[in-house]
Amino acid sequence: MNRRSATLAAVIAALFFTLGTATWGAAEVSFKGKTVAILIPYSVGGAADIMARQMLPFIGKQIPGNPTTIIKNMPGGGGIVGENWVYNSAPADGTIIGQFSTSVTDTIFKPTKVKFELAKLQWLGGVRETTVTFVSKDLGITKGTELGGVKKKLFFGTTSIQSPRSMIPRLLLKILGKDHKLVTGYGSSGDMRAAIRRGELNMTNDSQSGYFAAVLPMVEEGAVVPIAQEGTVQDGKIIRDPRLPDLPTYYEIVLELKGESVRKDPNYRAMELLAYLGGVRRGWVYAARVPKNVFDTMAASFDRFLKDKAMSAHFKKAIGFDLVSLNAPAAQAIIDKVVEIQKRDPEALEILKAMAQKP
Amino acid sequence: MTFKRSLGWLILLTVLAAWIILAQGMAGKIGAASLEGLVRVFSWPAFGYLLLGNLIGFAVGMLPGLGGPVTMALMLGFAFQLKMDAVEAFSFLLGMMAVTATTGDITSILFGIPGEGSTASTIVEGHPMAKKGEAGRALGASLMSSLMGALIGAGAIAVAIPIVTPLVLALGTPEFFMLTVAGVTFVGALSGGSVIKGLAAGGLGFIFSLVGLDMQTATERYTFGTMYLWGGGETGGAGIGLVPATVGLFAIPEIIDLATKGGSIAQAHVGRLGGVFQGVKDALRHWWLVARCSAMGTYIGIIPGMGGPVSQWVAYAHAMQSSGKQDQVGTGVIEGVLGPGAANNSTLGGALIPTIAFGIPGNVTTAILLGAFLVLGLRPGTSMLTKDLDVTFSLVWVLVVSNVITVSVCFLFLNQLARLTRIKGTLLIPPLLLFIYLGSYTHTNSFGDIIVTLIFGALGWLMVVFDWSRPALLLGLVLGRLADNYLWISYSRYEFGFLARPGVLIILGVIVMSIAYPLIKNRGRGRSAEAAP
């Protein structure tokens, strides 16, 4: 070996060593002087956007190097344009975090448009919410198990036939064999609350935030009665949401009325699948391309963010209940389960796909 | 005319009588809360935030594309971080929102570029006035009617408190559908010379409105495989955005006109600047028209899904129809400035009513405000009408005070603003083009917005050349999607039974009468003209 190649070898070795320490040695990546954007795949002013804007001041201070944090809106395709962009085109340096609401169900209901693989997204964390079904007082019932005996015709309102939120109560009515009419096309939960008040609808459901904010006053007033909730997934089981301990889940109602044998009914299994699909209500994700050390740093930042007392106090005031958060492993576990059930139970999956096409 | 006027009085008196009966016993409480609300708006730092909000709203209104709702969403975080209390936050947010429709009219009149999606209709008569050298008069008229509209809209909240349940809940989706049909009958008034051409333009707008994901079954319509045309909402939506389409239809042809003709916007000599006062007098002289259009704007604000984009065109059509100058569309008819000027301002007051009383937001703006309500610890519903009535009244006062301040400030600068129409076109075009494209781009932050603006620009130019009605097309665009959606819900809920509902039949009767009345009148006139010699 001559001198020249020895020098070259030394330089290469030094270079590898530096790179090596950069990637393996430093566990924590600093975002100092950078701008980290939370990408919202919807327009400014929607529920997802407003939530993220309230998060910003709390998340920025948890990320090493205290980067500037901003919101980037990329609306289109009901969220898919932004989801596809994060997965395929966003910079891989960790400065773009996607905040996804419907990525899980999009892979089922809009498979030809989705350009990402659910199993390959890296989940930084998320929040959990249940949904609540409520009925007009005119139906004269006080709990979900009485639904079968209602004499009046049921008019169940929802936004679109593909709305995953409405599918669980639709399945409940199907399993109970209860005739009903699905009325679709309402622009928002607000429109449906108005429709219930004027007697146009007598049954609908809402997100947990919507329930606490606007439906609870109607319950106190006696105009509507809550009858069932979706529940949340914990340790692989569907349980009542701890923030609504007195409201039974759809699954409890069905089991009480139909007995244990109902577990074999594909409609019931489709209902269970939906609970998992909704397990991460809003999740923060990185594309698969983002390096492991960057992911670890950001996942730890989100963990600190979700444990921040000032943050939870703010959200309790803003949404009226405690935020139940999922750290990176918990969110990842729910997504893994979704992927697994989809493979294991194609029959339940087909039922959901059919429901997205026909009432 | 006498028949119409007496019908108007009859309706007014009935409403008044009903209100007096329902409001009994609440008058004292309303008075006290109103006073307390006023004091809270004027206390420090709420008043400072109000002024800051007005300042931001002033600029946002003038900048095309950058709309009130978007800015409000951006400012929301600011309000939370400063830990404002309820009245402070509303002074800031609503103070900003309340004036955007007022200053948005200014760019519509001066440059033919709508400052807001809800101020496009002021262009149709206001901009020709500016070209004739009457910019001052048009601005004076529009600002005065905006102020009157805002006051009436704000007053409507106070008036609505005792009668809010029947006001908001009397009409259901089938009636909303019939109201959109009633809106379509206005196409006749918007078409200028040829009704057939007007109907065709309206129909074209209707078809454009269907582009996107349909709201009922999420089916793609006319999207040609591009996801841009799915629309930007959380559940999909309208593929063709109102702002890019409006800016394209109206602003691009004006720019082309300015570039090819040379000279300045005002082609005639700019008249004496005293024209501003002339405009104010116009508004006061036509007070009854301004009041009617404000009332229309308020009620349209209450209906979910509708708002400024709809109310301005309905008010414009009504103003032109009742002025009897339908054959002079686009020549600078002052009524056509006053009507929309009032209606787009009163709409906000109307939209607040269901939001406060039931937590049912009437449009995007109030949906964002509803979010703010909750963060600030306010529960919409009965408590806003009882325990927190003073906060409710502070909202009313924010609308009033903001518009009084902004309109007064505008009057100070109006002569200078009107002089802008004398600047050489070659100097104006570059900044105007920048604002047009920047404004369109804010719709979804994608290049598709620019393409839509250009396509509608070309279409708008062709429509000007061949004398087709652009207002009719826009009315079709704003009403089409609503009509489609309301009809679907009505049918899927009631099937054909919805046609037999009393409300539907009454509105149908009014539609038939409003079409038949001018025909009968004209025939009578024709006969007497024949008999005369």
Q: Which of B73, B172, B235 comes nearest A44 by C-beta? A: B73
- pLDDT exceeding 70 applies to what percent of chain A? 92
Stretch B154-162: mean pLDDT: 86
Evaluate whether B229 touches B222 at the Cβ level (below 8 Å). yes
How close B364 gets to chain A, by Cα (Å)?
8
User: A257-301 pLDDT, tens per residue?
Assistant: 999 999 999 999 999 888 888 888 889 999 999 999 999 999 999
CB count within 10 Å of CB A255 equals: 16
Residue A8, pLDDT > 70, answer: no
Query: What's the rounded Cα separation, in Å, for the pair A187 and B213?
Result: 13
- pLDDT exceeding 90 applies to what percent of chain B? 27
Query: What's the rounded Cα separation, in Å, for the pair B98 and A80?
Result: 34
Hey, what are B72's tokens?
A: 């409000």
Query: What's the rounded Cα separation, in Å, for the pair A337 and B12?
Result: 63
Q: Is A155 on the interface with B (CB under 8 A)?
A: yes
Nearest CA in chain A to B380: A214
- pLDDT exceeding 70 applies to what percent of chain B? 92
pLDDT of residue A137: 94
CB within 8 Å: A49 and B73 = yes
Residue B361, pLDDT > 60, answer: yes
**DSSP assignment letter at B236:** B
CB within 8 Å: A162 and B217 = yes
More confident residue, A18 or B361: B361
CB within 8 Å: B218 and A161 = yes
pLDDT of residue A256: 93
List of residues 6+ apart from A68 with CB closer than 8 A: A34, A35, A36, A60
Determine the residue among B173, B356, B386 to mutate to test chain A binding: the one whose Cβ has the most chain A Cβ atoms within 10 Å. Answer: B173
Angle at B238 between CA A96 and CA B122, to 5 degrees: 110
Interface of A with B in 185-204 (CB under 8 A): 185-188, 190-191, 193-195, 197-201
Residue A63, pLDDT > 80, answer: yes
SS3 A40: strand
Residue B290, pLDDT > 50, answer: yes
Q: Which of A43, A185, A317 comes nearest B232 by C-beta? A: A43
Q: How confident is the model at residue A174 (pLDDT cuts 50, 70, 90)?
A: very high
More confident residue, B338 or B225: B338
User: B445-495 pLDDT, tens per residue?
Assistant: 788 889 999 999 999 999 999 989 888 898 888 888 889 889 999 998 999
pLDDT of residue A24: 43
pLDDT of residue B177: 92
Hey, what are B350's tokens?
A: 């109307």
Peptide bond just before A217 cis, omega within 30 deg: no
Backbone angles phi, psi at B193, to 5 degrees: -65, -55
Domains of chain A: 35-129+281-347 (3.40.190.150), 131-277 (3.40.190.10)
User: B75-98 pLDDT, tens per residue?
Assistant: 887 887 777 888 898 899 999 998
How close A338 gets to chain B, by Cα (Å)?
22
Lowest mean pLDDT among A258-267, B174-183, B298-307: B298-307
pLDDT of residue A21: 44
Most confident range, picked from A52-56, A68-72, B48-52, B238-242: B48-52
Query: What's the rounded Cα separation, in Å, for the pair B294 and B298?
Result: 6
Closest to A291 in 3D by CA, of A97, A30, A93, A26:
A93
SS3 B45: coil
pLDDT of residue A133: 96
